[in-house]
Amino acid sequence: MDTYFVTGGSGFIGSNFIQLIHESILDANIINLDKLTYAGNPANLSKIENSDRYHFVKGDICDAAIIAKIFDDYKPTFIVNFAAESHVDRSITGPGEFIQTNIVGTYTLLNESLNYYTDLTDEDKKRFRFHHVSTDEVYGSLGDKGYFTEHTSYDPSSPYSASKASSDHLVRAWHRTFGLPVLITNCSNNYGPYQFPEKLIPLMILNCLDGKSLPVYGTGENVRDWLYVEDHCEAILHVVKMGTVGETYNIGGNNEIRNLEIVETICDLLDEIKPCGDGKTYRELITFVKDRPGHDFRYAIDATKIKNELGWYPKHTFKTGIRDTINWYLENDTWWEFIRSGEYRQYYKAQYES
Ligand code: NAD
Ligand code: DAU
């Protein structure tokens, strides 16, 4: 029986990953350590909250004692580190939390993982993995041509991407210097169910439904490579199970799209599924606003390595994924209304601090 120690599992990708493990590996135990920042929402895991294979611990990855206790209590086979401050715009207005969680937090997890690993039997050492979930933003910005490969030099632009780059370097150092069996994945932009409505796609969907303006930064020409979150979670599982220790794998969706096209697609699909009435179209809400400082122009992933070595490739196209995502937000209004009203923070504060 495998035990997965997941950090940041109450956020967007972590909660999708935990649900995947819970559904697809029927004898797996899952521990979720999450600080429940504004982005952490236990409601993302309401379907499994009463499962005897799922255990939630509210806590910070910067807290060595809590991490040591989890290792001691649950003896995990794998640790998968999702916990991070993840929003680029917030890293520009307030970088401090990004340095603390993304760098100091990863360092603390690495140190405690090494303490645990050192005392494992030879048999358990062979199986243990520290998987670090990272981003393609560490590679900086591309022009019109070219792709990020696992050999592209790091060149981060924002406080967020610089903090993730630092964490990747720490993870590699703990492998090369101390022999901790690590894996790193660098992934492109995710979208799908349970994404916090501050990121481009859910923000635009909810602003359309509210009749609010749709703020497109600059001219909307920036390009991102969009990956459906289920595909990302399956890729991580492939790497945890089959990846070569010490290696990095890029994960991408083969879906390069300009931001303006993303917003227009959302508008057009909503015109079809839930028209705004009065003969108006959602595109009328598009507003061009001041650009993000240091805004990377283009991200594009070459995911050949993970395909050739581990047999993973994305199964969802953007055409089907974006329709499914819009339908998910339409069907789950209680989920996002709970967030938008701010009530979820009060509710869980009372629940976990009593
Ligand atoms: P998210 O912001 O939705 O969730 C982050 C989670 O981490 C939240 O539940 C939050 O409460 C928790 N957390 C934050 N600080 C913590 C701390 N100090 N201790 C414990 N828990 C803490 O993020 P996401 O979009 O799900 O991203 C997850 C990971 O994937 C991040 O490491 C991010 O850098 C990486 N990533 C994200 C994307 C993307 O498109 N969203 C793409 C590539 C990589
Ligand atoms: O590439 C992977 C990264 O993707 C992850 O590491 C990050 O955690 C994740 O947040 C995401 O970063 P981005 O900055 O690319 O995502 P965001 O959704 O914030 O923005 C996507 C693009 O849309 C970007 O070019 C900025 C633009 N944008 C964003 C918002 C929120 C707008 O034009 N208007 C907006 O209101």
Annotation marks residue 160 as catalytic: yes
List 34, 60, 112, 137, catalytic entry:
137
d(CA 113, CA 120): 11
Is 137 among the residues known to form the active site? yes
Determine how many CB atoms are found less than 10 A away from the CB of residue 172.
16
Closest CA to 193 of 167, 155, 231: 231
Q: What are phi and psi of 108, to 5 degrees?
A: -65, -40
The per-residue pLDDT for 354 is 60
**What does 301-349 look like in DSSP terms, one character per residue?**
B--HHHHHHH-------HHHHHHHHHHHHHHTHHHHHHHHTSHHHHHHH
Point out the catalytic residue in the list 160, 194, 249, 282. 160
pTM of the model: 0.98
In angstroms, the CA 159 to CA 154 distance is 14
Distances (CA, A) of 13 to 19, 207, 305, 323, 353: 10, 22, 22, 19, 25
Please give the Cα distance from 354 to 348 (Å, whole number). 10
Bridging pattern class, strands 78-81 and 223-228: unpaired
Cα–Cα distances (Å) from 283 to 89, 207, 260, in that order, read 24, 12, 10
Kindly state which CATH superfamily the domain 3-194+225-257+294-319 is placed in: NAD(P)-binding Rossmann-like Domain (3.40.50.720)
Interaxial angle between packed helices 318-331 and 333-340, expressed in degrees from 0 to 180 and rounded to the nearest 10: 70
Give the count of beta carbons closer than 10 Å to the beta carbon of residue 153: 7
Position in ligand 2 atom list of the atom nearest CA 161: 6
Instruction: Give φ, ψ of 282 to 5 degrees.
Output: -65, -25
Identify the pLDDT of residue 350: 82
DSSP per-residue codes, 118-133:
HTS-HHHHHH-EEEEE
> Is 239 in contact with 306 (CB distance < 8 Å)?
yes
Mutate to test the pocket of ligand 1, among 13, 194, 200 (most ligand atoms within 8 A of CB): 13
b/e map of 127-146 (b: 16 or more CB within 10 Å)?
Answer: ebbbbbbbbbbbbbbbeeee
**How far away, in angstroms, is 274 Cα from ligand 1 center?**
31
> How far is the CA of 180 from the CAs of 95, 117, 306, in angstroms?
29, 7, 22
Q: How far apart are alpha carbons 265 and 258 in whole angstroms?
A: 11
Which residue's CA is the nearest one to ligand 2's atom 19?
A: 199
Contact of 293 with 312, CB cutoff 8 Å = no
C-alpha span between 351 and 226 (Å, rounded): 35
Q: Could you tell me where the DSSP H helices lie in 40-158?
A: 64-74, 88-93, 96-98, 106-118, 122-127
Q: Quick check: is 27 catalytic?
A: no
Contact 245, 131 (CB under 8 A): no
- Expressed in angstroms and rounded, the spacing between residue 10 Cα and the centre of ligand 1 is 9
> What is the whole-number distance in angstroms between the Cα of residue 296 and the centre of ligand 2?
10
Write the single-letter amino acid at 330: L
Residue type, 124: D
What are the pocket residues of ligand 1 if the criterion is a CB atom closer than 6 Å to any ligand atom? 7-8, 10-14, 33-37, 39-40, 60-62, 82-86, 101, 105, 133, 135, 164, 187, 189-190, 196
Instruction: Delimit the domains of the chain by residue range.
Output: 3-194+225-257+294-319
Buried b (16+ CB within 10 A) or exposed e, 217-234: beebebbbbbbbbbbbbb
Q: Which residues of the chain have pLDDT under 70?
A: 354
Q: Does 135 contact ligand 2 (Cβ within 6 A)?
A: yes
Ligand nearest to the CA of 107: 1
